A and B are shown apart, each in its own frame.
Chain A
Amino acid sequence: MTAYLADVAALARKDLRLELRARDTLPAMVLFVVATLVVFHFALPGGAADDAAYGLLWVALVFTSLLGLGRAWTPETEAGALDGLVLAASDRSTIWLGKTLAALAFLGAAEIVALPAFALFFAPLDGPAVAGVVLASIGLCAVGALVSAMAAAARGREVLLPLLFLPLAIPLVVGGVGSSISPDPGTYLAFLGLYDAVFAILSWAAFEYVVTE
C-alpha cells in the first residue's frame, strides 16, 4: 500500500516538476479561464440574472480543464515514456492516479485565480458553490485523465478529446450549477460525490486496459 502511494506520489511529482520547469500548461489555463470570463461579460445581456453567470462559470471551468487535459499525456507520448511506465514493475493504475492528481493540481491552481475573478466580475460564491467546484474538479480530472489517455492513442487527439469528454462532463455541470444556485445544495453535492466515486472506481479499474498493448 505504501509502495503504491509512493509510486503515485512520484508520478504526480514528475508532472509538477515538468510543469515548473517548462511552464507550458498552467499559465495557459489561468489566462484562458480569465479571458473566457471576460468574453462572458460581453456575451451576457445587460440585465441578465446572476443565475446565468453561474452557468457560464461552469462552461469556463469545463473548457479550462479540457485545455489542461489536452496536454496531459504529451510528455509521456512524445518521448515514448509511456511504454517505460507501462513496463515498470508497479501497478498500472498508479499511472492514472498520478496523472489525475497532477491534473487536479493544475485545475485547482487555475480555479484559485478563476473563482475570485468570478466573484469580482459577476456574482458572489458561497460555501456550497465552492464545495461543488471542488467535488466536480475531482470528477473532471478522474474521468479526464482516462479519456485523454484514450484520445492520446488515437489520431487527431485534439479533436477527439472534447467529443469523448463533454458527454461525460454533463452530469458534473448539472451538479455544479445546482450546488451554486439551488436553495438545497446538499442533494447536488451528494450527487457530485456519487459521480466521483462511480467514475473514479471505473477509471481506476479500466486504466490498465487503455495503456497496455
Chain B
Amino acid sequence: MSITKPSLASLAGLAVVLAGAAVAMIFFVAPEDADQGLSQKIFYVHVPIALTAYAGFGLGAWKALRLLWTRGERYDLESYTGIHQGTIFGALTLITGSIWAKASWGVWWTWSSNQLVLFLVLFLFYCAYFMLRFSIEPGARRERISAVYALFGVALIPVSFFAIRLASDFIHPTVFTREGPQMTGEMFAAFCCSWAAIMLLAYVMYRTELAGKRTDLNLRALREALAR
C-alpha cells in the first residue's frame, strides 16, 4: 500500500469504520431534534446521499469533458461509472426522501419539496442516459454522444433547480420549509462523518465497478485475439 494510492480493500475498511462511527454519532452524540424527534435522524443519511449523487454526476460530466478534450478512450468508462454511481445514489435519495416525507408530513410524495422534485427530474434524465448508451453500437461515436449527454446533465442541474423554484411559486403558493432549529456542533459533526462515510463508500463502489468493467473489456479483447 503506497501513500499516493491506497488499496481498494483498505479504503473499503475505512468506509465501514466511518459508517459505524457515523451511526454511533447519529444516535448517541447528536441531540434529538426538538421539532421532528427521531425521524429527523434520516437527515444524516438522506442529505449526504444526495450530495454524493451530485458528486457522481459531477464526476461523470468531468470525465466526459476530459474525453471530448483529450480523446482519451479510458475516460468513457470512468464517465459512465461515475454517472452509474450517481444514479444509484439518486435512487437512494428518492427513497430516503420519500420515507422522510412520510415520517414528517404524512405523505410518501410531495411536490412541494423542491429537492425531491429535482432528483426525480435528474433521475429520469440519467435513466435516459443509459437507454441512449445501450442503443448505440460501441465505439468512438457512442463515447462522444454519451459524453455530450453527460455534459448536458450538469447544465440541467442548476437550470432545473431554478425552474422548480419558480414553478413552486405558481403550483404551491406556500412551500414547506425544512428549516428546523440551527444545527448544533454535534449535529454538524455527525452529518460530516456520515457524509465522509457515504462519499468513501461511493468511491469504493466506483473503483470496484470500474475495475470489473475494465477486466471485462480486457477479457473480451483477449477472447477475440484468441479466436482469430
Contact = CB atoms under 8 A, between A and B. Distances in A.
Interface of A: 146, 150-151, 153-156, 160, 163-164, 166-168, 170-171, 174-175, 177-178, 181-182, 187-188, 191, 194-195, 198-199, 202, 206, 209-210, 212-213
Contact of B166 (A163, A175, A210): A175
B71 to A, nearest CB: 10
B170 A160 contact: no
State the main secondary structure of chain A at its contact with B: helix
18 contacts: A150-B132, A153-B136, A153-B145, A154-B132, A156-B135, A163-B128, A163-B131, A164-B149, A170-B160, A171-B159, A171-B160, A174-B167, A175-B166, A187-B166, A194-B159, A199-B159, A206-B151, A212-B141
Nearest to B67: A209
State the main secondary structure of chain B at its contact with A: helix
Nearest to A180: B170
A7 B116 CA distance: 45
B124 interface: yes
Contacts of B148: 146, 150, 206, 209-210
B136 A154 contact: yes
Contacts of B155: 198-199, 202
A174 B135 contact: no
B147 interface: yes
Nearest to B162: A191
A196 B192 CA distance: 38
Interface of B: 68, 121-122, 124-125, 127-128, 131-132, 135-136, 140-141, 144-145, 147-149, 151-152, 155-156, 159-160, 162-164, 166-167, 169-170
Contact of A164 (B132, B140, B170): B132
Contacts of B170: 177-178, 181-182
A202 B155 CA distance: 9
Contacts of B136: 153-155
Contact of A166 (B124, B162, B163, B164): B124
A181 B159 CA distance: 21
